[in-house]
């Protein structure tokens, strides 16, 4: 569990609703949703008011079939989340350093920076030799970066801004075909 999502959940999370729409087991990590997008949605949920959480539920169908692979999806979501946090105004020095490194790594993966930031300088090439860089980044590193970014941004944002960030992330994620079965798609 992310250290940035330790808020008790009394309302159903939008990701749990997505799991039901996709006919998956009840979970806040449905397989048909990109892990970084799912991390952003959970963090937005955790930092929203009860009314704000209810406003997230109509977004559920838009998450279906977003679980694309490749560095681009993950890096774009991290870059957007971190950029939002870095301009939020209420950020500590240690957070700024971590998020700046995360942003540099995301930009590197998108081809916009010469080298990644922080520890990614050594683990990206090392794990890349075994084909593990992308799955490790997508599943663990990028999700943590995005969750921290939302937590930082949430200190200066209200429900409307947090929901806006989530909508922007949905737009960035696009629709990747992943074989997710959904009611909306008409599959059994």
| pLDDT tens column, 4-32 | 444 455 678 999 999 999 999 999 999 99
Share of the chain above pLDDT 70, in %: 87
The model's confidence at residue 177, banded by pLDDT at 50, 70 and 90, is very low
Mean of the per-residue pLDDT values of the chain: 88
Average pLDDT of the segment spanning 29-38? 97
Collapsing DSSP to helix, strand or coil, 102 comes out as helix
Other beta carbons less than 10 A from residue 150's beta carbon? 30
DSSP code at position 12: P
Q: What is the pLDDT of residue 10?
A: 66
Average pLDDT of the segment spanning 137-158? 96
At residue 87, φ and ψ (nearest 5 deg) are -100, 5
The pTM is what? 0.87
Instruction: State pLDDT tens for residues 45-81.
Output: 999 999 999 999 999 999 999 998 999 999 999 999 9
Average pLDDT of the segment spanning 83-106? 94
Q: What is the pLDDT of residue 9?
A: 53
Q: What is the pLDDT of residue 97?
A: 96
Listed residue (36, 29, 24, 23) closest to 147, CA to CA: 36
End-to-end CA distance of the chain: 32
Task: Report the C-alpha gap between 142 and 59 in whole angstroms.
Answer: 22
pLDDT higher than threshold 60 for residue 155: yes
């Amino acid at each position: 569990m992310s250290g940035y999502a330790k808020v008790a959940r009394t309302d159903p999370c939008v990701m749990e609703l997505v799991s039901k729409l996709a006919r998956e087991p009840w979970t806040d990590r449905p397989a048909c949703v990109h892990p970084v997008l799912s991390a952003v949605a959970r963090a937005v949920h955790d930092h929203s008011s009860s009314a704000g959480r209810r406003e997230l539920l109509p977004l559920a169908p838009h998450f279906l079939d977003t679980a694309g692979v490749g560095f681009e999806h993950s890096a774009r979501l991290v870059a957007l989340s971190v950029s939002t946090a870095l301009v939020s105004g209420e950020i500590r020095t240690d957070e700024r350093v971590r998020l700046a490194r995360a942003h540099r790594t995301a930009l590197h993966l998108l081809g916009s920076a010469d080298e990644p930031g922080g520890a990614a300088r050594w683990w990206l090439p090392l794990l890349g030799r075994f084909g593990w860089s992308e799955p490790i980044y997508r599943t663990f590193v990028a999700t943590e970066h995005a969750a921290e970014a939302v937590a930082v941004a949430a200190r200066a944002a209200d429900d409307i801004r947090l929901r806006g960030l989530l909508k922007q992330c949905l737009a960035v994620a696009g629709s990747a075909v992943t074989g997710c079965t959904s009611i909306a798609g008409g599959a059994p």
